[in-house]
Amino acid sequence: MLVRRFPRAVGSLPLLVAFVREFFAEHHLDPEQAYDVDLVLEELFTNMVRHARGGTPEIEVGLALDGNTLTMRLRDEGVEPWDPGQAPAVDVNRPLEERRPGGLGLHFIRQVARDLRFEHVDGATVVTAVLEVAR
Amino acid sequence: MFRIDAAGDGAVRLIGRLDGAEAERAVASFAALEGSIVADCSELDYISSAGIGVILATLQRLTRAGHTFRLHPVQPRVRNVFKYAGLAQMLGID
């Protein structure tokens, strides 16, 4: 698994995109296929930046490929246990004036990821997402 | 990077990546849009929930004022995200 640590800030997003491109190049994957990986990684990372309580200055991100299966793992140390996976599903069919943007990130992840798992182990929240990528 | 280019007569172009970092910076630019707007998104390469939030707020504001906000054309992967959000039809996206 290719692992790197990123500052706990929304400003890290361009670094995450570069990390994904590096991973795609290393595995000879078409960068045109990176959209869903960027989307899941951004939504998970910004969730940690904005909602996790406590935490070290950096968040660890890992990517691994097995065949067409890409596994993404984010490890957030020193945070209180939290599981955004328990948040109620967003209703995207509500009338325009009743719509609020909250909850869409997790909704998007559920649209494109095959599996999503939240764990709290030894003071760290570990989130694992599994996606399929075309080769 | 993300930017909005005005093309006149309510036509604008959304260019770049509208991610969580850029969406915060783009709030003021979207708030400055007035009247009915058609946004060319052919060069909008990426959008996340943060970007969708800014688009949603703009759509709600312009609709309340009696105007329309349409996105056309839109790249396929960006279009998928609007569909996931349930906003494609409201924004005139095919």
Q: Kindly determine whether residue B90 and residue A96, on different chains, have CB atoms separated by under 8 Å.
A: yes
Q: Residue B89 falls within a domain, yes or no? A: no
H helix intervals, B41-86: 49-64, 76-84
Report how many domains make up chain A: 1
Residue A129 pLDDT level (bands cut at 50, 70, 90): very high
Q: Residue B92 falls within a domain, yes or no? A: no
CATH number of the domain encompassing residue A40: 3.30.565.10
Domain around A50: 2-132
Examine the pLDDT at A79 and tell me if it is beyond 80.
yes
Contact in structure between B75 and B42 (CB atoms under 8 Å)? yes
Per-residue pLDDT tens over the stretch A92-111? 999 999 998 778 999 999 99
CATH number of the domain encompassing residue B73: 3.30.750.24
Per-residue pLDDT tens over the stretch A56-66? 899 999 999 99
Q: Which positions ≥6 away from B56 have C-beta within 8 Å? A: A99, A101, B85, B87
Nearest to A104 among B19, B52, B57 (CB): B52
Helix, strand or coil, per DSSP, at residue B36: coil
Q: Kindly determine whether residue B49 and residue A108, on different chains, have CB atoms separated by under 8 Å.
A: yes
Q: Residue B19 falls within a domain, yes or no? A: yes
Report how many domains make up chain B: 1
What's the ipTM?
A: 0.94
At which residue do the structure tokens 């649209």 appear? Answer: A111
Per-residue pLDDT tens over the stretch B7-50? 888 999 999 999 999 999 999 999 999 999 999 999 999 999 99
